[in-house]
Structure 1
Amino acid sequence: MDVKSKEMNKVSNWCVFSMASIPLVMTLGNSMLIPVLPIFEKKVGISSFQTSMIITSYSIASIFLIPVAGYLSDRYGRKIVILPSLIFALIGGLIAGYASWKMNEPFTWIIIGRVLQGIGAAGAAPIILPLVGDLYKDDDEKTSSCLGIIETSNTFGKVLSPILGAAFAAFLWYLPFFSISLFSLISILLVLFFIKIPKKKEEPPLLKEFIKNTKIIFKNEGKWIFTIFVIGIFVMYVLFAVLFYLSDILEKTHSLYGVKKGFVLAIPLLALCISSFITGRKIKGDLQIMKKIMMVSLTAIALSVSFVGFAESRLIILLAVTSFLGLAIGSLLPVLDAIITENIEKEERGTISSFYSSSRFIGVAAGPPLMSIFMKGFLNGSFIGAGIISLAVAVLVYFFIKTEEKPRLKEATV
């Protein structure tokens, strides 16, 4: 009996590891390119705005396809959607890498490759949230803990990204694209062998019935759901805007390049990763604790982001401010994951959580191009504006995230 139990735990651990590999790979697929964007700009001969589109094209593809992937995963199964999506990500990396290697004007093909990677990201990482909910069913404590690991894997990818991206680019400037394909292949093998999906006991609803049920959910529970979506957009916008800004400033103001720059860029992301891991372990499905964390985190974001631009010329202060910002964002992300995953019934979990993932990608897509515009003359104002928005979002949390009773959605009836 003990041997059996240990064997089950081992399989379970490999399953968690395999699930965690997906957001890690998808994060590397996007964030790894941020520190090497200035290199792409020089090598490909494009503008700063065009360079930002290497990040944005990936995210825009994801925004529109994530809800489709969410429905398909509810209808046909999580694994059936995840595996082809990872293959898309693998192919996209090969296209972008080959174009950079062999073509004189590779920009268009790089964008095509990035769009394919975005399609892959749409059907891979967001599906992990409902999959965790499926595996742990009604055990909120285990769900929160596992989601904490998943979000930590995501944020750990952000820590590794600048270091790996800079290291690969130092060897060959287009190597980061090929590396994404390799990481995707590893993730494909892990998912194939170690993720075992629970068998469905009931047939999922048909599309017409499904849409009707989803509309009922948004009608009845829309206030708190849309509040979570707004927070998702906002925090990812702040994160990627600040990362884009840091990547540029570390070179132009502080003369930091390559791997050295990658390590410095990883400092605030390490703070984000640690904060995310600790928060995921502590919340245990307690909505009152989660609401407090959201309020405190949004206030901390408001305080820290407002001062980022003023610290530009002082590297230590800049890193301290952005690390504090990283701590705040890191504590917020697993809370958002937990609220969405634990409070949606299985039948609609994939779709609702996919809308949430789409909202996060809106922020990712908006951050770099908007920051490239703000850096031309409205830098401090943009950071202060983000601080004011953060306080406004905290007000939404205060009014619309209720703690009297857990807002678990009952099965919609038609």
Structure 2
Amino acid sequence: MSSKAGAPPSSNIRVLAASTFLRGMRDNMVRVVWQPFVLSLGASMPLLGFLESLGGRGGIVTTLVQPLSGRLSDYLGRKVFILSSSVFAIAALSIYVSARFTDNWHLLIPGVAILGLAAVSRPSEDSMTAESAGVSGRAMAYSLVMLSFALSGVFAPLLGGFVADRWGYVVVFLMGLALDMVALSLVAGLLKETLVSHSRRPLAFDQLKGVFRGILVPPGQLRGFYIAVAVDAFAWGTGWGILYGLLSEVHHFTASQLGILSCLSSIGWAIFQIPVGKLMERYGCVKSIVFSEAGGVLLMVGWLHATTFQTFALLQILFGFTIATWLPATMTWIANSVPKEKMAEEIGRLNAFRGLVGFPAPYIGGLLYEAFGFRGPITVNLIGTLTALILVALLVHEPTMD
């Protein structure tokens, strides 16, 4: 299948990087204050975990929307789903504002579910990045797009935390809403479709009936990778998934301090991302994934023993390293392992599989906190990350498909 639509591939990469930067600004500003915001409305830690399990990064809504949108984007094209993402985010942030004014955490349930729907764009964005770069340039293209997100995190969390401490959460949500409006306009006006009309698969609704059928049984040649990634998702969802809430509750960190921590992880991510991309092109994806999991084990040990803000701050640089070695490596691995005409569908299936395994993790982390304190969810995160490291080393091999 031809994946070009007549526009220079570099043009799409630039637009994707710019829109990722803008939405990354929103994501980083909002996420750094989101968990303290929920707790400020009177929610408990298990309830916070439930909301993350519903529509957080690995929530059930976030999970289930991706295989469907991945399949549909192979029929309808990529751009429409990237546009839809910003529309859902704008609606969700509007509901968050209403929850603050009414002091009603119940409104967060539909709000977080709608924000989960914003993940509708993920398979399309990943596929469009690969289609715009070609096989030989995919690792670097993913690294560049990920770098744009990392750069947004260098200052956006600090800005969000400062604004929340000074003027309140509502101003942060309104700023995020405005950023998504700009991103929506940018994508609508400049992004070129990579899946041209004559090469799209014909839309057959009977095929959509089975879109979730294969999620729990991944393709045989990809099964080891799926299992390792799913274990990783559950592990990190348990501890890191509620980390800002834990730090706010246990160590009484302010929104500004949480913003500093997030900024430092993004600085580490930005520092490592391009060198990691170049090393991946030379040595492959699997070594990068192994280094990421090993860094995660060290990070969990550090979190378990950290007692001061300064120590947590230093550890965020290591966290940035784990992100830089994980995200482009996993996306490049899956992009190089399936035919391009099924790429978005497979990326959606992968995200759904890891999400179905990982979505209860934040809620379980909240229960572990109530039972064992801070060490409970972080210890489970450590054990799961070590398990994922072993699984990657034993089950995952470099893809051979061009």
TM-score normalised according to structure 1 size: 0.80
Structure 1 position 158, deviation (Å): 4.3
Q: Secondary structure at the match of 1:395?
A: helix
Report the counterpart of residue 151 of structure 1 in structure 2: 146
Q: Secondary structure at the match of 1:140?
A: coil
1:11-410 paired onto structure 2 within 5 Å = 13-37=10-34, 39-41=36-38, 43-59=40-56, 60=59, 61-101=61-101, 103=102, 105-119=103-117, 121-136=118-133, 139-169=134-164, 170-198=166-194, 199-205=196-202, 206=204, 218-227=218-227, 229-230=229-230, 233-234=233-234, 236-237=236-237, 241-242=239-240, 244-246=242-244, 248-249=246-247, 252-253=250-251, 256-284=253-281, 288-311=283-306, 313-359=307-353, 365-366=359-360, 368-376=362-370, 377-403=372-398, 406-407=400-401
Alignment CA distance shift 1:297-1:51 (3 Å): closer
**CA distance in structure 2 between the partners assigned to 1:100 and 1:266 by the alignment:** 25
* CA deviation vs aligned residue, 1:343-372 (integer Å, no higher than 9, x gap): 221221111111233356568855543433
Structure 1 position 326, deviation (Å): 3.1
* CA deviation vs aligned residue, 1:94-125 (integer Å, no higher than 9, x gap): 22213423x2x432223212222221x22223
**CA distance in structure 2 between the partners assigned to 1:232 and 1:202 by the alignment:** 36
Alignment CA distance shift 1:163-1:367 (3 Å): farther
Structure 1 position 160, deviation (Å): 4.1
**CA distance in structure 1 between the partners assigned to 2:186 and 2:11 by the alignment:** 8
Alignment CA distance shift 1:209-1:65 (3 Å): closer
Percent identical = 16
**CA distance in structure 2 between the partners assigned to 1:31 and 1:115 by the alignment:** 18
Which residue type is aligned with residue 132 of structure 2?
A: L
Contact 2:301–2:382 under 8 Å retained in 1: yes
Structure 1 position 395, deviation (Å): 2.5
Alignment CA distance shift 1:235-1:142 (3 Å): farther
Which residue type is aligned with residue 341 of structure 1?
A: A
Contact 2:272–2:321 under 8 Å retained in 1: yes
**CA distance in structure 1 between the partners assigned to 2:44 and 2:75 by the alignment:** 43
**CA distance in structure 2 between the partners assigned to 1:299 and 1:29 by the alignment:** 30
**CA distance in structure 2 between the partners assigned to 1:291 and 1:42 by the alignment:** 39
**CA distance in structure 2 between the partners assigned to 1:160 and 1:244 by the alignment:** 21
Structure 1 position 68, deviation (Å): 0.9
Deviates more, 1:124-133 or 1:187-196: 124-133
Q: Which runs of 5+ in 2 are unaligned?
A: 1-5
Structure 1 position 257, deviation (Å): 2.4
Contact 2:299–2:319 under 8 Å retained in 1: yes
Alignment CA distance shift 1:247-1:113 (3 Å): closer
Alignment coverage as a number of residue pairs = 387
Contact 1:24–1:156 under 8 Å retained in 2: yes
Contact 1:40–1:51 under 8 Å retained in 2: no
**CA distance in structure 2 between the partners assigned to 1:361 and 1:177 by the alignment:** 26
Alignment CA distance shift 1:38-1:92 (3 Å): closer
**CA distance in structure 2 between the partners assigned to 1:234 and 1:27 by the alignment:** 23
Report the counterpart of residue 3 of structure 2 in structure 1: none
**CA distance in structure 2 between the partners assigned to 1:174 and 1:49 by the alignment:** 24
Structure 1 position 301, deviation (Å): 1.6
Alignment CA distance shift 1:330-1:177 (3 Å): same
Deviates more, 1:87-96 or 1:318-327: 318-327
Q: Secondary structure at the match of 2:169?
A: coil
